[in-house]
Structure 1
Amino acid sequence: MLKEYIAASPKAVIVIVHGAFEHGGRYKTLAENFRADGYSVVVGDLPGQGDEKGKRGHIRHFQQYIDTIEGWVTYAKDADLPVFLLGHSMGGLAVIRTMQDMALPVQGVILSSPALGIKNGAGKPLEAVSKVLDRVSPSMLVSYPYNPEIVTRNEEVWKMDRNDEKILDHVSVRWYKEFQRAIRKAHVKAMPDVPLLLMQAGDDKMVNLKDSKGWFNTQDLTEKAYKEWPGLYHEIFNEPENDQVYRYTINFIELHC
């Protein structure tokens, strides 16, 4: 189910796409800040996460994410306002893949530490096993303990996340393999020519900076901007310096609104 934050006199609509293991409810503060600044927000849960129906932590195909995001943007377009897509981590990857395949009519794309290359993936033995399981038992769940201390330095967020039952600690073999396949496709397909802002955590423990930079440098766009935040962990919108990140984001949106 989509959650809406409607501004009094909205200048645009921002569609937020959350990352892996989490859910749209974690973006309440960010959405309320956007609303206070005159931007309506649409945010929901991706398939297999949050309150969405279906097996938690499992998808059959990454296309499910693409179809979901397309639906959110279509819904946002009903307001007849400019629409911006903001994706974090795996949500950033899903936004990239959606734009590559669907070329949605959005005013701009904002990526927060997009998952274009993952640190600490499965070792070679597990990779080999996962290829077999992807064929014979794709919905089998494997443990992936969530550690809030490696995604943000914000202790208040640690406390909330440790009590958040909607955060996943298991994902399916198929989810993992589809994640990998989506990363590979993102690096070989082209983005449509829309304004792009990629913001990358400088001390990211989850994704590889070189992959974000490498992908960004290959994009042949009329307008694109790369901003690295030195010392910040993966969730830049939750970091103690989040106000600086937010203002940078707002400046980009206002420039293209």
Structure 2
Amino acid sequence: MWKWEAEGQPKAVIAIVHNAYEHHRRYAWLIQKLRNGGFHVVTTDLPGHGSESGRKIHDEPFESYIDHVKKMIDIALHDNLPLFVLGHGLGATIVMHILQREKLECAGFIFSSPWLSMKHQPSKFSGVLTKLSSSMKLNHDITIELLTRNTDMYIEFQNDRDYSSVVVTSWYREMHSMMKSIMYHEESIYDTPILVHTGEEDKITDISYAKRWLLKQQLSEFHYKEWKRLYHDLYQEPEREEVYLYIESFMNNILRSLGYIV
């Protein structure tokens, strides 16, 4: 677990749950923006991800991701400040799954580009996935060009030895099972403020599922934003400053409603 303290007086804590295949260092820009905005930031690398794991093939049970995220949230609550949870991609999906199981003591949630229906599949095996051995390797082959239009990120990403989209078939099946369980869950999550935002030109997921999920929930406060022209990684896009201001406004409005001076 890692924690960065706010510049000046903190007004809240934000816990970041990263996407599949990557690690927390890809959020360095966002972390600094949040610190400048008065937020403590807590994050972690999911099991099997990041430099400490040393893994190049993902075969981790999804329950290990869930347990890890819940521990991070518990740590973030120790500051006795309002807590927001930001989940991106599969990270958003994991937090959604937790919310179906239990109530988290959070001020609000931000879900960007959640994985609820995949547009980009492993090309060679997508049609025969159910027939493959559980231990067979698949390359999801999510490249930087599919994630962002920001060419400044391309060199940095291509030199990233800790990014790997190679998985075993059982991992990929479990991912699809989690997505289906979220979309077909009949009961609403508990009433809590939620922002879901996606990129109009997302190459990885079918963004219509994110909107459908949000509208199914019986929430008194929710926001949906579809960013024109943007790809999957909203916090890496050329317009990321605008994206940041949008999520900061969401959090500040909630803090005001809770009686905090922002």
TM-score norm. by structure 2 comes to 0.90
Q: Which deviates further from its counterpart, 176-185 or 45-54? A: 45-54
2:179 corresponds, among 179, 183, 198, to: 183
Answer yes or no: is the 8 Å Cα contact 2:20–2:89 preserved in 1. yes
1:242 corresponds, among 237, 240, 246, to: 240
- The one-letter code of the counterpart of 1:254 is N
Does the C-alpha gap of structure 1 residues 88 and 125 become closer, same or farther in structure 2, counting only changes over 3 Å?
closer
Deviation at 1:127, TM superposition (A): 4.9
Cα distance in 1 for residues equivalent to 2:238 and 2:222: 26
Could you tell me which residue of structure 1 aligns to residue 259 of structure 2? Answer: none
Could you tell me which residue of structure 1 aligns to residue 93 of structure 2? Answer: 93
Answer yes or no: is the 8 Å Cα contact 1:57–1:171 preserved in 2. yes
Answer yes or no: is the 8 Å Cα contact 1:107–1:194 preserved in 2. yes
Could you tell me which residue of structure 1 aligns to residue 121 of structure 2? Answer: 121
Answer yes or no: is the 8 Å Cα contact 1:42–1:72 preserved in 2. yes
Cα distance in 1 for residues equivalent to 2:131 and 2:102: 28
Answer yes or no: is the 8 Å Cα contact 2:48–2:60 preserved in 1. no
Q: Percent sequence identity over matched residues?
A: 35
Q: Which deviates further from its counterpart, 145-154 or 14-23? A: 145-154
Deviation at 1:126, TM superposition (A): 4.5
Could you tell me which residue of structure 1 aligns to residue 141 of structure 2? Answer: 145
**2:1 matches 1:14:** no
Matches within 5 A, 1:68-107: 68-107=68-107
Cα distance in 1 for residues equivalent to 2:122 and 2:131: 12
Could you tell me which residue of structure 2 aligns to residue 58 of structure 1? Answer: 58
Answer yes or no: is the 8 Å Cα contact 2:13–2:83 preserved in 1. yes
- The one-letter code of the counterpart of 1:207 is T
Deviation at 1:51, TM superposition (A): 3.2
Task: Find the residue that maps to 2:178 and give its secondary structure.
Answer: helix
Does the C-alpha gap of structure 1 residues 106 and 198 become closer, same or farther in structure 2, counting only changes over 3 Å?
same
Cα distance in 2 for residues equivalent to 1:133 and 1:54: 24
**Aligned-residue CA RMSD (Å):** 1.8
Could you tell me which residue of structure 1 aligns to residue 258 of structure 2? Answer: none
Answer yes or no: is the 8 Å Cα contact 1:49–1:57 preserved in 2. no
5+ unaligned residues in a row in structure 2: which ranges? 256-262
How many residue pairs align between the two structures? 252
Answer yes or no: is the 8 Å Cα contact 1:21–1:57 preserved in 2. no
Deviation at 1:40, TM superposition (A): 0.5
Task: Find the residue that maps to 2:111 and give its secondary structure.
Answer: strand
Does the C-alpha gap of structure 1 residues 235 and 220 become closer, same or farther in structure 2, counting only changes over 3 Å?
same
**2:168 matches 1:169:** no
String of CA shifts for 1:124-166, please: whole Å, max 9, x gaps: 96454445423xx3xx432233310111010111111000101
Could you tell me which residue of structure 2 aligns to residue 231 of structure 1? Answer: 229
5+ unaligned residues in a row in structure 1: which ranges? none
Could you tell me which residue of structure 1 aligns to residue 3 of structure 2? Answer: 4
Does the C-alpha gap of structure 1 residues 68 and 127 become closer, same or farther in structure 2, counting only changes over 3 Å?
farther
